[in-house]
Structure 1
Amino acid sequence: MAALEDPIEINGVEIPNRLYRAPLLECAGNGPDAVETLIDDLEPAAASGVGLICQGATIVRGEGGCAAPGMTRVHDPAFVSRLSRLTDRIHDHGSRIFLQLEHGGLRSMETWHAEYRAENPALGQLAVSEPPWQLRLLDRIGILSYDPHVLSTEEVYELAVDFGRSAAYAIEAGYDGVHLSGANMGIIQQFCSPFYNRRTDEFGGSPEARLEFPALVHDEIRERAGDVPLITKVPAETPAPPRPLVTRKLSLEDGVEMARRLERIGYDAVVPVETSVVWDMSVVRGEYPDRAWANEALREGYDAAFGGPGRRRLVSVGNRLESIVYDTESAWNESFCRRVRERVSIPVLAEGGIRERSTMDRLLGSSGNEGVRTGSSGAPPACEMVGLARPFYAEPRLGARLLEPETDETGVLCGSCNNCTVPQATGAPGICRTPSVLRRRGELERAGAYERQ
């Protein structure tokens, strides 16, 4: 049993406590201000005592593959070397920083962002296989746009090299480890999922073959970056659309078995997440963001992204329906994490809807500040670390309130209203836009709640 304040080691790297800032979209891009933007976004969490900072998904290639505007690319060693300023700042506070690597594949902006498609007519999506019939239907009726390039066997190997090369650049720049975006419908999940992967070469067919791409990425990272901490998300596609719309998907049992195989491959930790086969609110469960959709200053950006006012309204309606299906649920990956932890010996990291210190103590099997490690609920621990994402948009220095709290107010201010996430489709930064939350944060700031003791 462990407390949130206890250190943990992942493949030789000691992390000072078990709280981590889960990957978020920092909207920094690769421009001249990119490094400063990342420092502004990430350093406050480290300054507040958070043990591990996971920089949000960065793209391993120079074109295509971005799932949203403002994503940072890490294919260029000259640019990545500049990120040493960021890693130095994180280390100055005693924290560690991992870089999350990603490629969107069919989830990329080439699929859904109308203005981006118009500006890049020759740029198609990378696909593991021909898109499934459900996605081709969405293309025919004009909701999405697919012009995929199915990766050849040789090109799969080349993509894995890009992951390995970017990891090596990151480690050289001072990052402490690598985090693969193995879920949220990115290309790694697309390789692992029977919904997407219909390949007939060594990267498709059986469940074992569908894991050959993450195995190849592991080998490339080990060869190029060395024996550094390497973690990955592990998906279970349980929130996917119901049968008969989706009959081929990853069950919870499939996700548990995948985690076992990833441990055998050599991964150092896993992050089990229940996610859909399509890009929806299964990863940002919560309320319908009325304020975000009603923001007149953002409407032009929405229209550019979705293809006009009519399509903007259609996406808004879909967002409202999804908010009913995926309403707020505390620690929604807890059951999956527990099942994985029973079957692996590497650390399990939990994230998704964790909002209270008491929930963190339960997940870690700790009774919290009393120092008794017998487990407050009588259940074994579900994980070795707990992560929060959107709450750091609302409270950049949240760690100071959660670690060794001085008061009983140890819940986060974030109410999962999603007014921070929807505007990111326009390239707007990920910030809290809810007045009641901002007012309360100001009160806490004036009371010194975000100062480390």
Structure 2
Amino acid sequence: MATPRLDDPLDIGGFTLRNRLYRAPVLECAGTGPETPKRLAAELEPAARAGAGLICQGATIVRETGGCAAPGMTRIADPEFAASLSAVTERIHDHGAAVAVQLEYGGLRSMETWHAEYRRDHPDLQQLAVSRPPRLLRLLDALGFLDYDARVMTTDEVYELAADFGRSAAMAVDAGYDVVHVAGANMGIVHQFLSPFYNRRDDEFGDGVRFLEVVADEVRSQVGDVPLMTKVPAETAAPPGIRRRLTEDDAVEICRRLDEAGYDALVPVSGSVFWDASIVRGSFPARAWRDDRYRDGYAAAFGGPLRARLVELGNRIEAAWYDFDPAWNADLCRRVRDAVSVPVLCEGGIRERGEIDRLLGDACDAVGMARPFYAEPELPARLLGRDVPAGTRVVCENCNNCAVPQATGAPGVCRTPDVLARAGTLRMEGAYDTDTETADDDEPDPVG
């Protein structure tokens, strides 16, 4: 078979994407309210207008209370609110792109664990837990850095949570979302089922893949043959001494089983057993930590100025430990692609067109980027095309100044002047212009 090109279409579960470049899920910080559709459209539409094949709306919570891993996350649990999101999907479809909703629940990673002010304001919220929190996390609880009041789910409650994923998927599909993306990594509840670090259950869900199988059954029963995909973690970046973790071999086997269970695409990713800088590798975000606009927000989130400084120190250590590694998931994706029959999507540190061309048909079938879209919302306009030079590169510097302020509820945007200046120069040069732009400034805003 000929090596696929970035501009070639891709079939996922019988649904055809117009090309193989997608905007990977990130924190949208759009909330859940009357203004949410307008905010999401403003965040997601530029990538569609610029030509991306698939736009992934980032982690969206499947219940009305609890489970948010960061401030401002959107929930799809209320039918009336979910229906309002059709304004978002219509805007994306107007440009010929597909849109996925990534469904999530935080479990032990939820704000009721780590966000001090949120804990004070919601004293009755308990974390849903797969099992009793691991010993190391209980130690952090005893030292006051985390606050666990975990309720280990019964077997019936696990089935109820899976049903919530199915109900949220049905609401999303009714609102026009084309693909259902289950958030299976980054230490959310699904990851906690998969990981032996978290999962010590003695019922059927002691096999963590079982939860994803039940989620698939719930989604299929609610919406039929909608394309279904998930991230799959390998905990290869876990700190030394963590013995119970997911190896690459484990991740490959999980992917093989999910292929058999009916998942239509898989996104293998490598990280730690914790929610740390292994997720967003790169430089220490000194500018974000020193920005006076967020200082009070950091103190509120982490329990005071001193604890905020300790978290900052931990972030500095993690940034040195998990330095940026281009296309860091490529080897894992390549192994998975050799083991499954469905498309494998690769994201994590992909920054250059030549790198994309080397990955396609070898390590993966499509490539995604996340943080670079904060600096260049219309990035696909520069990367797509048969004659794009191999050296064409994103302006993102992997500095992570976009990410840390999200702990305070700030939106995910690029905050690095040099990066924004380069993007501004490219805009003035017409680098983001496309032949498909059809917007008319005189037309009313359909979500306004």
TM-score above 0.5, yes or no: yes
Task: Give the match for residue 275 of structure 1.
Answer: 271
Task: Give the match for residue 226 of structure 1.
Answer: 224
CA distance in structure 2 between the partners assigned to 1:247 and 1:407 by the alignment: 45
CA distance in structure 1 between the partners assigned to 2:209 and 2:421 by the alignment: 47
| Shift in Å, 1:143 | 1.4
CA distance in structure 1 between the partners assigned to 2:33 and 2:326 by the alignment: 37
Q: Paired residue for 1:344, among 336, 340, 343?
A: 340
Name structure 1 gaps, 5 residues minimum. Answer: 366-380
CA distance in structure 1 between the partners assigned to 2:89 and 2:342 by the alignment: 25
Q: Say whether the 8 Å CA contact 2:7–2:386 is kept in structure 1.
A: no
| Shift in Å, 1:397 | 0.3
CA distance in structure 2 between the partners assigned to 1:11 and 1:391 by the alignment: 27
Give a deviation string over 1:29-78, Cα, whole Å, max 9, x none.
Answer: 01221110000000000000000001000000000000000100001111
Give a deviation string over 1:89-145, Cα, whole Å, max 9, x none.
Answer: 101100000100000000000110000000000101000000011111111111111
Task: Give the match for residue 388 of structure 1.
Answer: 369
Matched to 2:29, the amino acid is C
Matched to 1:417, the amino acid is C
Q: Paired residue for 1:447, among 422, 429, 436?
A: 429
2:180 match: secondary structure: strand
| Shift in Å, 1:406 | 6.0
1:182 match: secondary structure: coil
Aligned length: 432
Q: Paired residue for 2:280, among 280, 284, 287?
A: 284
CA distance in structure 2 between the partners assigned to 1:407 and 1:282 by the alignment: 31
Task: Give the match for residue 242 of structure 1.
Answer: 240
In the TM superposition, 1:106-125 aligns within 5 A as 106-125=108-127
Name structure 2 gaps, 5 residues minimum. Answer: 436-448
In the TM superposition, 1:13-32 aligns within 5 A as 13-32=15-34
Task: Give the match for residue 261 of structure 1.
Answer: 257
In the TM superposition, 1:363-374 aligns within 5 A as 363-365=359-361
Matched to 2:101, the amino acid is L
Matched to 1:250, the amino acid is L
| Shift in Å, 1:297 | 1.1
CA distance in structure 2 between the partners assigned to 1:24 and 1:320 by the alignment: 22
In the TM superposition, 1:4-403 aligns within 5 A as 4-204=6-206, 209-243=207-241, 246-365=242-361, 381-403=362-384
What is the TM-score of this pair, normalised by structure 2? Answer: 0.95
Task: Give the match for residue 445 of structure 2.
Answer: none
Matched to 1:227, the amino acid is D
CA distance in structure 2 between the partners assigned to 1:92 and 1:131 by the alignment: 46
CA distance in structure 2 between the partners assigned to 1:439 and 1:249 by the alignment: 42
Q: Paired residue for 1:411, among 389, 393, 398?
A: 393
1:57 match: secondary structure: strand
What is the TM-score of this pair, normalised by structure 1? Answer: 0.94
CA distance in structure 2 between the partners assigned to 1:120 and 1:417 by the alignment: 33
| Shift in Å, 1:405 | 6.8
Task: Give the match for residue 433 of structure 1.
Answer: 415
Runs of 4+ in 1 over 3 A off after TM superposition: 405-409
Q: Over the residues paired in the alignment, what is the CA RMSD in angstroms?
A: 0.9
Give a deviation string over 1:414-451, Cα, whole Å, max 9, x none.
Answer: 01100000000000000000000111111111110001
CA distance in structure 2 between the partners assigned to 1:405 and 1:298 by the alignment: 43
Task: Give the match for residue 369 of structure 1.
Answer: none
2:204 match: secondary structure: coil
CA distance in structure 2 between the partners assigned to 1:226 and 1:210 by the alignment: 23
Structure 2 vs 1, CA of residues 20 and 291 (structure 1 numbering), >3 Å: closer, same or farther? same
Percent identity reads 63
